[in-house]
Amino acid sequence: MSSANPSIEFFVGLSEELTNVSLRKEKDTGLRSVLMTFKSLKAIERFQSFTKQTYGDLRLIDSEGQISVEPSSLKFIFGGDEGDELLKVECGFEIDRDEHWDRFMRFMNRYAETNGMGYQDK
């Protein structure tokens, strides 16, 4: 596979910068939830969302290949004096299979290492 740096894309060829990620596991069901937070989206900042092809999902790309994720939620949070300043974007999805979780965690470890992020247990 590719030796390229891990990346996260909503739009083809436009890597986004992850600000934070929160991981949770339901005690009753074992369902794992992921909430990725982005301070901004390059596609919106540059109005490229209208000129770039979208996947229709979120792509996590690393040396093992691509993970295609269908978000269960996508929130745009605005603020500022006029209420029109994008503060952050939250993208949530669930992972129910252990092998998918393991693959996702390998991606996240690579992404974190490449981008100077670290794991913090709350």
Q: Cβ contacts of residue 57 below 8 Å, gap of 6+? A: 68, 69, 70, 71
DSSP letters along 8-50, please?
A: EEEETTEEE---EEEEEE-TTT--EEEEEEES--HHHHTTGGG
Write down the residue that tokens 């004096």 correspond to.
81
| CATH architecture of the region 7-114 | Beta Barrel (2.40)
Q: Supply the pLDDT for residue 122.
A: 63
Average pLDDT over residues 82-109: 94
Find the radius of gyration of the CA atoms of the chain: 15
**Does residue 53 or residue 4 have the better pLDDT?**
4
pTM for the structure as a whole: 0.81
Percent of the chain with pLDDT over 90: 61
Indicate if the pLDDT at residue 49 is higher than 60. no
Q: Supply the pLDDT for residue 12.
A: 81
Q: Supply the pLDDT for residue 51.
A: 53
Domain coordinates in residue numbering, the chain: 7-114
DSSP type of residue 51: T
The phi-psi region of residue 60 (left if phi > 0; otherwise alpha if psi is between -120 and 50; otherwise beta) is: beta
